[in-house]
């Protein structure tokens, strides 16, 4: 693969840092545990734009093919895991780019939710919408206090697609998931723990990564193939549904995003974010 030939390896203590120039993610493999930490680093808020999504896809593929023992997803930003989809991709979109953007988001979800290696999210900051999608696509979540997580799409006047719901439903009981999605509810760390949206709370990012590593380590004595096939059987129906409906899902998104009312709503939301940032 071209990307493999561009790969540079740097050693930091017992970790190998795999990265390429101008990347929006880094992958660091711990030599002792064999676990890869995939860090999103797109300032200011890890907004999921086309480039970050492509990097995430490549990094997940890399981790799968390097036979890492597990994947921990986290952020280089000390207060934001990911602000979700970059709204600038969806507001007054470029025709070709927005197709590639949504297709890349589908790719990331299929790769992460369907990953054969154990996955965990060290949620070291706010995690709305697409950020929550990434976290709930993993098998385990550890979050730092005083942040928020949830699928807030209805608050923006937009609709989370079915596969966002699949990830959410793989974590939460249906009744709680349905109500939270309808309300566009953002959960505090404490509330998220209470309903089961996250598995543990940690006080620091390092502690969160340790807890994620311990979760991944809990599979050490389980046959990796049996574990991977079992996980994939659990997730097969959700994954297959998107595989079967990829084109329709893209067309539905394009139709929706181009509605004048949706464009107006996104514009107002962007404005309110910018106003808030200035104050």
Ramachandran class of 95: left when φ > 0, alpha when ψ lies in -120 to 50, beta otherwise = alpha
Would you give the binding string for ligand LP6JUW53 spanning residues 133-152, x where CB under 6 A is met?
A: -------------------x
Q: Does the annotation count 52 as an active-site position?
A: no
Among 18, 38, 60, 160, binds ligand LP6JUW53 (CB under 6 A): 160
Residues 170 and 135: beta-carbon distance below 8 Å: no
Radius of gyration, alpha carbons of the chain: 18
Q: Minimum Å distance from CB 107 to ligand LP6JUW53?
A: 15
Active site residue 152: yes
Instruction: Please report which residue ranges of 29-94 form alpha helices under DSSP H.
Output: 50-65, 87-90
Q: How many residues bind ligand LP6JUW53 (CB under 6 A)?
A: 30
Q: In the set 87, 123, 180, 202, which binds ligand LP6JUW53 (CB under 6 A)?
A: 87
CB 250 within 8 A of CB 106: yes
The catalytic position among 153, 172, 197, 242 is 153
223 is catalytic: no
- Collapsing DSSP states into helix, strand and coil, what is residue 72? strand
130: annotated active-site residue: yes
Q: Among candidates 78, 80, 219, 75, which has minimal Cα distance to 139?
A: 219
Instruction: Tell me which of 85, 144, 181, 266 is the catalytic residue.
Output: 85
Closest residue to ligand LP6JUW53, based on beta-carbon distance: 84
Residues annotated as catalytic (active site), given as ranges: 85, 130, 152-153
């Amino acid at each position: 693969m071209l990307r493999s030939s561009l790969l540079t390896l740097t050693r930091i203590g017992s970790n190998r840092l795999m990265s390429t120039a101008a990347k929006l993610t880094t992958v660091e493999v711990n030599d002792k545990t064999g676990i890869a930490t995939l860090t999103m680093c797109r300032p200011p808020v890890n907004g999921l734009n086309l480039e970050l999504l492509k990097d995430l896809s490549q990094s997940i593929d890399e981790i799968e093919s390097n036979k890492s023992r597990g994947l921990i997803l986290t952020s280089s930003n000390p207060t934001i895991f990911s602000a979700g989809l970059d709204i600038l991709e969806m507001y007054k979109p470029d025709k070709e780019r927005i197709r590639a953007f949504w297709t890349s988001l589908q790719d990331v979800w299929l790769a992460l939710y369907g990953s054969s290696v154990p996955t965990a999210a060290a949620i070291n900051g706010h995690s709305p919408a697409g950020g929550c999608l990434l976290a709930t696509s993993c098998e385990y979540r550890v979050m730092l206090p005083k942040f928020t997580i949830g699928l807030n799409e209805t608050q923006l006047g937009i609709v989370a697609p079915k596969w966002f719901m699949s990830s959410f439903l793989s974590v939460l009981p249906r009744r709680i998931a349905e109500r939270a999605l309808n309300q566009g509810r953002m959960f505090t760390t404490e509330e998220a723990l209470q309903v089961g949206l996250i598995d543990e709370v940690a006080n620091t990012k390092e502690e969160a990564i340790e807890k994620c590593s311990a979760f991944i380590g809990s599979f050490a004595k389980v046959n990796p193939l049996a574990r991977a096939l079992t996980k994939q059987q659990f997730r097969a129906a959700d994954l297959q549904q998107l595989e079967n409906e990829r084109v329709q899902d893209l067309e539905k998104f394009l139709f929706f995003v181009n509605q004048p009312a949706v464009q107006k709503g996104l514009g107002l939301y962007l404005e309110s974010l910018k106003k808030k940032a200035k104050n």
